[in-house]
């Protein structure tokens, strides 16, 4: 069957449905499992930590940006799921020349939902994917409308300090959570100076659990840097993982706002 991925590349699935799927995108590995494709998954990255049964049982072929191409070739996948941002372009180009490779490019929740549908079609799990989409849409529909939208800085790295900018999936999820991204006017994941943070009139500093694993000890550092702001630790997967994790996000956002008393 013929599909077209987010890079405009035609994907010709010789084997349909695919029986040997390799995922180099952690959030989409979780999606494949939740669509009932545990047996079809033949390889994952070392960052595909959910669900644990997959992390413990499937061959790992390196990190998202450090793929071991020889290990992938040995697994002979009939479908590879990749991502433009999370994987290295050279690796994906090489793999695409050898195996059917579907490359995603996701910056909005609406695009993430669309990819769930397409991956369901790719893997002949259309019914399961549509049921999941309904669950996700219902959850976000039930989120309360937010009268107050606190200004936040979403930290992804500490040294140098890096934040999520406006043209990112994280930015869209901050909006869905009822926050205003203080650095939404910047592109991608810029480095920012301490003076920029101090002058941004930020209510909350969100310290993500990934890619830099911020810990409790980091809270004091940012609160000293921005005395008028409150620093909190947040689950990065809820803001940056597209796929089936979206079904868990509305309840997480609701509790987060309750904990912050906003």
pLDDT in tens, 185-217: 999 999 999 889 988 999 999 999 999 999 999
Q: Which residues are within 8 A (CB) of 101 and not within 5 positions of it... i.e. 6 or more apart?
A: 5, 9, 11, 79, 80, 82, 92, 95
Q: What are the sequence ranges of the domains in the chain? A: 2-139, 151-260
pLDDT tens digits, residue range 63-97? 999 999 999 999 999 999 999 999 999 999 999 99
The CATH code belonging to domain 2-139 is 3.40.50.1980
CATH topology of domain 151-260: Rossmann fold (3.40.50)
Q: In b/e form, how buried is each residue of 140-175, taking b as 16+ CB within 10 angstroms? A: eeebeebeeebbbbbbbeeeebbbbbbebbbbbbbb
Write the pLDDT tens digit of every residue in 91-145.
999 999 999 999 999 999 999 999 999 999 999 999 999 999 999 999 999 997 8
**Confidence band (pLDDT; 50, 70, 90) for 12?**
confident
């Amino acid at each position: 069957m013929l599909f077209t991925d987010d890079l405009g590349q035609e994907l010709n699935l010789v084997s349909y449905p695919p029986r040997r799927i390799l995922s180099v995108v952690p959030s989409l590995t979780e999606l494949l499992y939740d669509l009932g494709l545990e047996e079809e998954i033949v390889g994952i990255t070392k960052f595909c930590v959910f669900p644990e049964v997959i992390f413990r049982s499937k061959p790992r072929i390196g990190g998202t940006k450090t793929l071991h191409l020889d290990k992938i070739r040995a697994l002979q996948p009939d479908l590879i799921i990749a991502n433009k941002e999370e994987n290295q372009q050279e690796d994906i180009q090489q793999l695409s020349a050898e195996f059917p490779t579907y490359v995603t490019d996701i910056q909005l929740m609406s695009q993430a939902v669309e990819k769930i549908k397409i991956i369901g079609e790719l893997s002949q799990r259309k019914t399961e994917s549509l049921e999941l989409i309904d669950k996700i849409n219902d959850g976000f529909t039930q989120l309360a409308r937010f009268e107050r939208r606190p200004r936040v800085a979403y930290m992804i790295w500490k040294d140098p300090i890096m934040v999520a900018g406006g043209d990112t999936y994280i930015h869209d999820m901050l909006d869905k959570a009822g926050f205003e991204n203080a650095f939404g006017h910047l592109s991608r994941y810029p480095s920012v100076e301490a003076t920029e943070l101090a002058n941004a009139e930020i209510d909350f500093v969100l310290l993500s659990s990934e890619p830099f694993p911020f810990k409790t000890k980091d809270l004091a550092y940012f609160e000293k840097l921005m005395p008028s702001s409150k620093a909190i630790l947040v689950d990065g997967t809820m803001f940056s993982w597209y796929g089936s994790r979206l079904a868990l996000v509305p309840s997480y956002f609701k509790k987060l706002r309750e904990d912050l008393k906003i």
